[in-house]
Structure 1
């Protein structure tokens, strides 16, 4: 059957749901790609100057909870209806985006991010279930391909839009995300509830059943061990958002790309460049989404017939190399090449996780097990927050290093300086330019060491997967 004929078989709700997903991801990544530098950046650039540890707690725990809650919010949607839950989700989303920049304390921002995560957690299971219920065995493959394409288009264009306004005000970034997600209120008018089996249990009983099922899954040692191994992949993957934007902003010289765009495509240097002749860190990180849009079909066609475990091992290994290398050097061209390597591994390995879970789940419990594949994503976010937080602060944080150097030299600097002012005055007192001080700190404190941590996590996941299949499953998969 031709693709055109398959397209005709999708009901209107399928296309409405996918368009809603596009705008939701657009709004989410529009702020989330910038979130790490917003939390830790200098106050004179609109940042909150939180420590890396605080950033890791907010992003790790908050996003982890976001991925844990859908097992509960999915039951709520089954009971009260998809359309009602989507409306509530968009109300929370919109208000959270507007309210979040009004808070500048750690506690306030953390609470507001949890509130935002609640909106996302209400949204996620509903839209995935809608796509599942508006496709069949014949159309599911292409249907979910369209769905993931929408995810990546939103992930790419979200930061490209909000970055245009980052230098004006971070408030604008959040307000733009609020406006974009609010478009879904209009689309919701055209959303028709798909056929679903109403949940007649009380809400309390539904939640109790959820935790009974979680216990059932956890008691399956083989399955939970696999999920823990895969959590290593998600720990590594999330450094793309938790660590890499901060690392690039602090250490990587992006002037080569700035100069290229300035000479040949000035629109990009004017709109995505900083005032100091550097490109915005998030613009560089966003190459990952661009590579996925360009190459996902090619990579998927290559690995389509590969066995899931082999594909995951290959993908995780390539991801580990790519992510580790992004934190290895100050050369931005090397960083972009490393992001490309990481993207190739991501495209190969990530989609196969779900397929492998379907293979190892007991025949009579496949639906249950597939529903709890969130566990490694939840754990991966929590672990990633720890790596991007305390570990990064100890091993790679430029703000911490310059304070150590100032203390070591017994220099006295005025209080109440922003991060940028503190760094510039420190450089001046040390008779260096800001660029020279950055290079001095790079050489003296070796912040690139964190690449060894990231690589170790990835290699552990690969080796553990191999041993798991060989000795635990005791079969080829």
Structure 2
């Protein structure tokens, strides 16, 4: 471990119940980056489908949903490339800064000009910047803890709150603006996060993340070419297996920015008295529930880890998460039964609130736990690369999510939401049955 980690692990046992202050710096940095991303994401489909006179690009819904899926897919592919480059040539802190600057420029370019050319340039920069930022800030959180530290899953759950503090406020702020200034606000959020990170990193992270992981391993083992041990190969295989499993979860979950957004706009009664809730505001529900539930889940994981029976195995948590996200779509199925595909019929907004609540519970069982697992199990010389591989599963899922969302315009919401619900529940049950053999691979 690097100096900051050594210092932290030398603290008395009673102080180790507390998390290191570096966690909260990474929490804040991620909060601002997610403010930028989710602010942009909340209005992207709406911007694409709005008329030119309304400040949009006038793209048809099917094309907009497909483009949205392609973008969110690519955002999760580049972390594998960025992770590879970081492991070999860049320190994690440098990669985080580089990625943040590129993403800020991307949002700013969309703000500057209302055209498809400016949009594609901006999205390309966002995709590239995220490749450097995303895998490295998550891996840096794991570097704060020893491998078997019982605080680890709880730390990632707290870190996950940072993601969702930003994700909660972004749609609320951006949803009240024109599309043009919404993208500018996203750029400003990214810049604020980078200023915060680079100002306080030395104080709270010490030397952590300054050196490429290849250099760290050279200093520890005097070689970077040693083959993976059998234990490391088994752990790597476990990461890859669970990455495939999470594809189904993220395919379902990422309907939020596409088909769920359009369904909300077309079929949800958004009136509260004389006030009409902006469609973009519903994107804040998931983040709000994360902020409320994450501390509770963090305590639950910590208490279970310290108890005699021990915490749930990681595959068990993921199986439970898949079932829960499927139940969320069952709630929507019951709503669609009432409205059909008629734009004249509306259902109570509580249907969407309950759906996002269940999706949030599922997310807390899968995403922060998965990040914790990768940071704990990945061999040092592959740490950022395997974090990128883990996120690449989200790339596949986001593209599938975009394809499924387009089918809601041809087959209908009932059919697509019903299929998603059935597949995730059945797969979740299968994962529960396979929990023990997968856990053996994880050692």
* Equivalent residue number for residue 328 of structure 2: 322
Distance 1:110 1:54, change over 3 A: farther
**Aligned partners of 1:198, 1:365: CA distance in 2, in Å?**
9
Q: Given that residues 309 and 356 in structure 1 are in contact (C-alpha distance below 8 angstroms), is that contact kept between their aligned partners in structure 2?
A: no
Query: In the alignment, which of 278, 283, 289 is matched to residue 287 of structure 2?
Result: 289
Which residues in structure 2 correspond to 1:447-466 (within 5 Å)?
447-466=413-432
Q: Given that residues 217 and 223 in structure 1 are in contact (C-alpha distance below 8 angstroms), is that contact kept between their aligned partners in structure 2?
A: no
Note the C-alpha offset of 1:196. 4.8
Note the C-alpha offset of 1:456. 3.0
Residues 21-30 or 75-84, more deviating: 75-84
2:251 matches 1:235: yes
Q: Given that residues 79 and 392 in structure 2 are in contact (C-alpha distance below 8 angstroms), is that contact kept between their aligned partners in structure 1?
A: no
* Equivalent residue number for residue 36 of structure 2: 27
Which residues in structure 2 correspond to 1:74-473 (within 5 Å)?
74-78=83-87, 79-102=89-112, 106=116, 109-136=119-146, 137=149, 140-165=152-177, 169-187=178-196, 188-192=198-202, 193-194=207-208, 196-198=210-212, 224-255=240-271, 258-259=272-273, 269=275, 278-302=276-300, 304=304, 305-326=311-332, 328-329=335-336, 330-354=347-371, 372-389=389-406, 391-396=407-412, 447-466=413-432, 468-469=434-435
If the length of structure 2 is used for normalisation, what is the TM-score?
0.75
Give deviations 1:134-186, integer Å, cap 9, x for gaps.
44437645543432221111111111221222xxx211101111112111343
Distance 1:253 1:112, change over 3 A: same
Q: What runs of 5+ residues in structure 1 fail to find an aligned partner?
A: 202-208, 263-268, 270-277, 397-446
Distance 1:138 1:334, change over 3 A: closer
If the length of structure 1 is used for normalisation, what is the TM-score?
0.70
3-state secondary structure, aligned to 2:294: helix
**Aligned partners of 2:18, 2:442: CA distance in 1, in Å?**
39
Is the radius of gyration larger for structure 1 or structure 2? 1
Distance 1:395 1:37, change over 3 A: farther
Note the C-alpha offset of 1:113. 0.9
Distance 1:175 1:365, change over 3 A: closer
Q: What runs of 5+ residues in structure 2 fail to find an aligned partner?
A: 1-10, 216-223, 305-310, 337-346
Note the C-alpha offset of 1:106. 5.0
Give the paired residue count.
Answer: 393
3-state secondary structure, aligned to 2:409: helix
RMSD over aligned Cα atoms? 4.0
Note the C-alpha offset of 1:335. 2.1
> Which is bigger in relative contact order (C-alpha 8 A, separation at least 6)?
2
Note the C-alpha offset of 1:280. 1.1
Q: Given that residues 308 and 355 in structure 1 are in contact (C-alpha distance below 8 angstroms), is that contact kept between their aligned partners in structure 2?
A: no
Note the C-alpha offset of 1:251. 1.9
Q: Given that residues 299 and 344 in structure 1 are in contact (C-alpha distance below 8 angstroms), is that contact kept between their aligned partners in structure 2?
A: no
Distance 1:20 1:310, change over 3 A: closer
